Amino acid sequence: MGSRRLPGKTMMDVAGVPLLERLLRQLQGATSLDEIVIATSSEPADDVIAEFGRNLGYRVVRGSKENVLSRYIKAADASEADIVVRVTGDCPLHSPDTVDEVVYTFLDSNAEYASNTNPYTRPDGQDVEVFTTSVMNLASTFAVDEPDLEHVTLWIRRNPDVVKLDVSHQPPINPSMRWSVDHPDDLEFVRLVWACLDRRGPGPFNFEEIMSTVTESGAEPGKAIINEGYYLSIFNTATAEAAPPLSLGKSFAWLERSEQVIPGGAQTYSKSWRHHIRGVTPIFLENGKGAVVTDVDGNQYVDLVQGLLPNILGYAHDEVDRAAYERATHGHCFTLPHPIEVELAERLCSLIPCAEMVRYGKNGSDATSGAIRAARAYTERDRVAVCGYHGWQDWFIGSTSRNAGVPKTVQELTHPFPYNDLDALEELLASKSGEFAAVIMEPVNFNWPDREYLAKVKEIVHKHGALLIFDEICSGFHFQLGGAQKIFDVTPDMATFGKAMGNGWPISCIVGRRDVMKVFEDAFVSFTFAGDVSAMAASLKVLDILEHGDAYARMTAAGTKLFDGARIMAEAAGLKDTFILKGHPHWATFAFINENGEDDPATKALWLQEVTRRGVLMLTTFNISAALDEAAVNIVLSAFAHGFKRIAEARNNGIDPKEWLEGPVPVPAFQARS
Of the pLDDT bands very low, low, confident and very high (cuts 50, 70, 90), residue 164 is very high
Of the pLDDT bands very low, low, confident and very high (cuts 50, 70, 90), residue 176 is confident
- In the chain, the number of structural domains is 3
Evaluate whether 461 touches 429 at the Cβ level (below 8 Å): yes
Whether residue 669 is predicted with pLDDT greater than 80 in this model: the reply is no
CA distance 643 to 632: 17
Determine the pLDDT at residue 172. 65
Give the SS3 label for residue 79: helix
Residues 6+ apart with CB under 8 A from 371: 438, 440, 469, 494, 495, 496, 510, 512
Task: List the one residue out of 315, 373, 670, 384 whose CA is nearest residue 522.
Answer: 373
Asked, for residue 355, whether it belongs to a domain, the answer is: yes
CA distance 557 to 569: 18
Evaluate whether 359 touches 509 at the Cβ level (below 8 Å): yes
Determine the pLDDT at residue 674. 59
Asked, for residue 544, whether it belongs to a domain, the answer is: no
In degrees and rounded to multiples of 5, residue 259 shows phi and psi of -65, -15
Whether residue 137 is predicted with pLDDT greater than 80 in this model: the reply is yes
Task: List the one residue out of 557, 313, 584, 375 whose CA is nearest residue 475.
Answer: 584
Asked, for residue 158, whether it belongs to a domain, the answer is: yes
pLDDT in tens, 356-397: 999 999 999 999 999 999 999 999 999 999 999 999 999 999
Total H helices, total E strands in the chain:
25, 22
Determine the pLDDT at residue 673. 60
Asked, for residue 384, whether it belongs to a domain, the answer is: yes
Mean pLDDT of 549-553: 91
Domain boundary among 225, 256, 285: 225
One domain for residues 563 and 494: no
Give the SS3 label for residue 123: coil
CATH of the domain at 384: 3.40.640.10
Mean pLDDT of 37-64: 97
Asked, for residue 405, whether it belongs to a domain, the answer is: yes
One domain for residues 204 and 341: no
One domain for residues 450 and 567: no
Whether residue 5 is predicted with pLDDT greater than 80 in this model: the reply is yes
Whether residue 119 is predicted with pLDDT greater than 90 in this model: the reply is no
In angstroms, how far is CA 145 from the centroid of its own chain? 26
CB burial of 591-626 (b: ≥16 within 10 Å; e: otherwise) equals bbeeeeeeebbbbbbbbbbbbbbbbbbbbebbbbbb
Determine the pLDDT at residue 130. 98
| Domain ranges, residue 266 | 248-316+551-659
One domain for residues 208 and 136: yes
One domain for residues 404 and 435: yes
Asked which of 42-56, 215-229, 567-581 is least confident by mean pLDDT, the reply is: 215-229
One domain for residues 13 and 141: yes
Determine the pLDDT at residue 270. 82
Determine the pLDDT at residue 175. 63
Evaluate whether 662 touches 277 at the Cβ level (below 8 Å): yes
SS (H, E, C) 611-655: HHHCCEECCCEEECCCCCCHHHHHHHHHHHHHHHHHHHHHHHCCC
∠ CA 583-587-589 to the nearest 5 degrees?
55
The rounded mean pLDDT for the chain is 94
One domain for residues 604 and 478: no
Asked, for residue 666, whether it belongs to a domain, the answer is: no
Dihedral (CA of 564, 570, 572, 574) sign: negative
CA dihedral of 377, 378, 383, 387, whole degrees rounded to 10: -110
One domain for residues 73 and 208: yes
CATH of the domain at 558: 3.90.1150.10
One domain for residues 570 and 520: no
Whether residue 126 is predicted with pLDDT greater than 70 in this model: the reply is yes
Asked, for residue 321, whether it belongs to a domain, the answer is: no
One domain for residues 556 and 601: yes
Domain boundary among 486, 501, 531: 531
Asked, for residue 672, whether it belongs to a domain, the answer is: no
pLDDT in tens, 491-526: 999 999 999 999 999 999 999 999 999 999 999 898
Mean pLDDT of 14-33: 97
One domain for residues 353 and 479: yes
Evaluate whether 384 touches 438 at the Cβ level (below 8 Å): yes
Domain boundary among 498, 531, 564: 531
One domain for residues 429 and 351: yes
Whether residue 672 is predicted with pLDDT greater than 70 in this model: the reply is no
CATH of the domain at 213: 3.90.550.10
Of the pLDDT bands very low, low, confident and very high (cuts 50, 70, 90), residue 332 is confident
